[in-house]
Amino acid sequence: MTTTGSPFSAQPYQGIATFGRRPQTRELSGVDVAILGVPYDSSTSYRSGARFGPRAIREQSLLLWGYNNAQQVAPFEVLNVVDYGDVDVVPVDITATHRAIEQTAATILQAGTRLITLGGDHSISLPLLRAHHERHGPLAVVHFDAHPDTWDEEYPSFKYSHGTPFRRAIEEQLIDTQAYLQIGIRGPTGGPQDYADARQLGARMMTFDEVTDLGLPAVLTEVRQRVGGRPLYVTLDIDAVDPAFAPGTGTPEVGGFTSHQMLRLLRGLSGLNLVGADLVEVAPPYDPQQITAILAANLVFELLSMMATK
């Protein structure tokens, strides 16, 4: 196994940036969790730049010391975590890129290794869901986002973009819609049909207003009841978080979660059967002082901690 050096033996700012200063390797023997980057943003519909997300999140993950006080676990001690590197994307071809994502994810999952993926735009969740479905069957999905991403065609006759992955995933029966929750939805749309369509498809949509009216404990109670013991995939579009806390993203919507609320929501999923996760839409060109990438790195740390406590 190739490594970048013994973890935490050097200063955080020393060496090449891998996620959490984990070893970079594609050797999966004995590996519990792989971090995978997908530097692809060709299906963004507004401002692009998420192709630089994986690199920025790795860069801002260097200061993650080992112990998670909130979840009372040291994920890097409990789990063998590696940085697998990036998928070979094809920026001019979403089909080829999705195929490469699915194949890479399948290779990792077949080794018995769990996967946390750094995007990239939200289109990448579709091939990731395909690979996880192949291994686990229909998935419970907790989807944090400002947007439902359940359009049929964001552009006439084009079925694949970052606005359509969850309609495609439902059509392909990758998601168990009894346990599909969209959390944090808000902002202007072209009309009422966007939300109606998502609900028609079976999503339990919790708009941001509903989440704040219910309060986080009630939200988490419902999420946990719906998910139960199902294999759970968490997909986190960073634009679920308010642009005051996460400005570095392509389609910002005001009036979202604080950083702390987002952390608490993830921690509230602890103990569920988390089989995989992605964090998408971090766009460093709009991210002053790396605000968004720092948050993203810490959110991934929470996801890893969840995997370590289960």
Rounded distance, CA 182 to CA 148, Å?
A: 7
Cβ at position 308, least distance to Mn ion in Å: 27
The owner of tokens 């072209």 is 190
Q: For residues 52 and 76, which CB has a smaller minimum distance to Mn ion in the complex?
A: 52
50 binds Mn ion (CB under 5 A): no
233 φψ region: left (φ > 0), alpha (ψ -120 to 50), beta (else): beta
Q: List the interface residues with Mn ion, window 98-127 (CB under 5 A).
A: 122
Q: For residues 194 and 239, which CB has a smaller minimum distance to Mn ion in the complex?
A: 239
237 binds Mn ion (CB under 5 A): yes
Q: For residues 147 and 230, which CB has a smaller minimum distance to Mn ion in the complex?
A: 147
Question: Interface with Mn ion by CB under 5 A: which range of 19-27, 107-115, 139-147, 191-199?
Answer: 139-147
242 binds Mn ion (CB under 5 A): no
Q: For residues 149 and 302, which CB has a smaller minimum distance to Mn ion in the complex?
A: 149
146 binds Mn ion (CB under 5 A): yes
176 binds Mn ion (CB under 5 A): no
For the chain, the residue count is 310
Cβ at position 285, least distance to Mn ion in Å: 17
145 binds Mn ion (CB under 5 A): yes
Query: Of residues 147, 168, 186, 230, which one binds Mn ion by CB under 5 A?
Result: 147
Nearest to 274 by CA among 68, 170, 136, 145: 136
Cβ at position 35, least distance to Mn ion in Å: 20
Cβ at position 206, least distance to Mn ion in Å: 15
For residues 170 and 202, the answer to whether their CB atoms sit within 8 Å is: yes
239 binds Mn ion (CB under 5 A): yes
Q: Where are the beta strands (DSSP E) in 33-107?
A: 33-38, 81-86
Q: For residues 169 and 308, which CB has a smaller minimum distance to Mn ion in the complex?
A: 169
Question: Interface with Mn ion by CB under 5 A: which range of 19-27, 76-84, 238-246, 291-299?
Answer: 238-246
How many chain residues touch Mn ion (CB under 5 A)? Answer: 7
Rounded distance, CA 225 to CA 206, Å?
A: 15
For residues 27 and 43, the answer to whether their CB atoms sit within 8 Å is: no
Cβ at position 135, least distance to Mn ion in Å: 23
Cβ at position 237, least distance to Mn ion in Å: 4
Cβ at position 146, least distance to Mn ion in Å: 5
Query: Of residues 83, 86, 102, 149, which one binds Mn ion by CB under 5 A?
Result: 149
User: Can you tell me whether residue 78 is helix, strand or coil?
Assistant: helix
For residues 110 and 134, the answer to whether their CB atoms sit within 8 Å is: no
In whole angstroms, how far apart are CA 293 and each of 37, 287, 296, 298? 14, 8, 5, 9
User: Can you tell me whether residue 185 is helix, strand or coil?
Assistant: strand
Q: Are strands 274-280 and 139-144 parallel, antiparallel or unpaired?
A: unpaired
DSSP β-bridge partners for residue 83 = 24, 35
For residues 212 and 258, the answer to whether their CB atoms sit within 8 Å is: no
Binding site for Mn ion (CB under 5 A): 122, 145-147, 149, 237, 239
